[in-house]
Structure 1
Amino acid sequence: MNLVMVTGGVRSGKSAYAERLVSERAAALPTQAKVLYVATGVRYDGEMNHRIDAHRERRPDSWDTIETPHEISVSDYEGYDIVLVDTLSAWVGNKLMSVPEERCRDTKMTELIGRQVSAYLGQIRASQIREAVIVTDEVGWGGVAMSPLGRWFQDVIGDANQQLASQANEVVAIVSGLPWRLKG
């Protein structure tokens, strides 16, 4: 099982890179590869609708898609050769946004999400899929967020990204549309 992490800043080109990588890897398989695209974005305004639609239009028609913004499950991946998760950071953000404001930075919720990320990565590693490509936002290159929720997100996704990078066979950072191989 090959686990690939694709990270970068917002609008860095990480999703497009991951899609090209999956297309290349699928084409290299000896038989027709079954590809699953796991979308975690939420349509909460016109701009997000546009972003989600643009991602959808770029994907090959032969790929299956599931939209799962709140709960991602490896059981959905059975029968697929390659799975592309876009993005781990949106999934974590969706979880944090569901927490009432008065519980922002709740230690138990922070620990729960960390355990969920760990369990998810363990399930992927133990799965029968050939390859998983997980896209996530790199938040460590920007400034400290101005709001408590923003800082909480940076902390939680920073920890999740470190877990992912430690388990990944390959890590690629996208900077201004250019891939920078960090691992593998």
Structure 2
Amino acid sequence: MSLILVTGGVRSGKSRFAEELAGGYGRDVLYVATGQVWDEEMRKRIELHRQRRPAGWGLREIGGKLSDSLSDADADAYPVVLIDCLSTWISGRLMDVPEPSWRDETITGEILAEAERWLDKAAATDRIVIAVTSEVGLGGVALSKLGRWFADVLGDVNQRTARRADAVYAVMAGIPWRLKG
């Protein structure tokens, strides 16, 4: 197994770099999309990603169970799996939580446990797994309770993923920097 993490800010070029990296292996790629259409802007972002991907790549759209992205017969047919992205997966999970339950430790624990199940499956596979995520550690503290919860959970998932990854890249202004591996 090879786990590669690609992080960067919004519109930094991280997804494009991860797609180029995945395509560079010269094999079939399964693109695991975590985005959900919440509004017109998100629909346009998803469409931009669709247009950029090679037509021959497989597609799997997932919601709550990230670990499912590596555990079925369809996914097994692909030697390279590109997950785009961990931050969108977490935001989708948190958007479903009613406001009185924001920052609930049980919900946080469930998300972190699901991330660990996914990391365990990534470690057990013989495939190349590339995960894209957003870096939240470079900005200020979010003004809203939901924003702070998102940053805390994503920061924890990013750190766990980076520790277990074979390689980590940070992308800034379209330029990738290898941080690990």
- Whether the TM-score (by the shorter chain) exceeds 0.5 is yes
Structure 2 match to 1:8: 8
Match of 1:91 in 2: 89
Q: CA shift at 1:70, angstroms? A: 2.4
Tell me the equivalent position of 2:58: 64
Residues 1-184 of structure 1 correspond to what in structure 2 (within 5 A)?
1-25=1-25, 27=26, 33-72=27-66, 73=68, 74-76=70-72, 77-129=75-127, 131-184=128-181
> SS of the residue aligned with 2:142?
coil
SS in 2 for 1:144: coil
How far off is 1:134 after superposition? 0.1
- What TM-score do you get using the length of structure 2 for normalisation? 0.95
What secondary structure is seen at the aligned counterpart in 1 of 2:83? strand
The one-letter code matched in structure 2 to 1:75 is S
* Cα deviation code 1:44-85 (max 9, x no counterpart): 111111110010000001101111132221213212100000
Partner SS, residue 123 of structure 2: helix
SS of equivalent to 1:135: strand
How well do the aligned residues superpose, as a CA RMSD in angstroms?
0.9
Contact 1:69 1:90 in 2 (8 A): no
Q: How many residues align?
A: 177
Gaps of 5+ in 1: 28-32
TM-score (norm 1): 0.93
Percent of paired sites with the same residue: 49
Deviating beyond 2 angstroms after TM superposition, the runs of 4 or more aligned structure 1 residues are 69-72
Kept in 2: contact 1:117–1:160 (CA 8 A) = yes
Structure-2 separation of matches of 1:21 and 1:120: 21
Q: Secondary structure at the match of 1:134?
A: strand
- Cα separation, 1, equivalents of 2:105 and 2:63: 22
Secondary structure of the residue aligned to 1:172 is strand
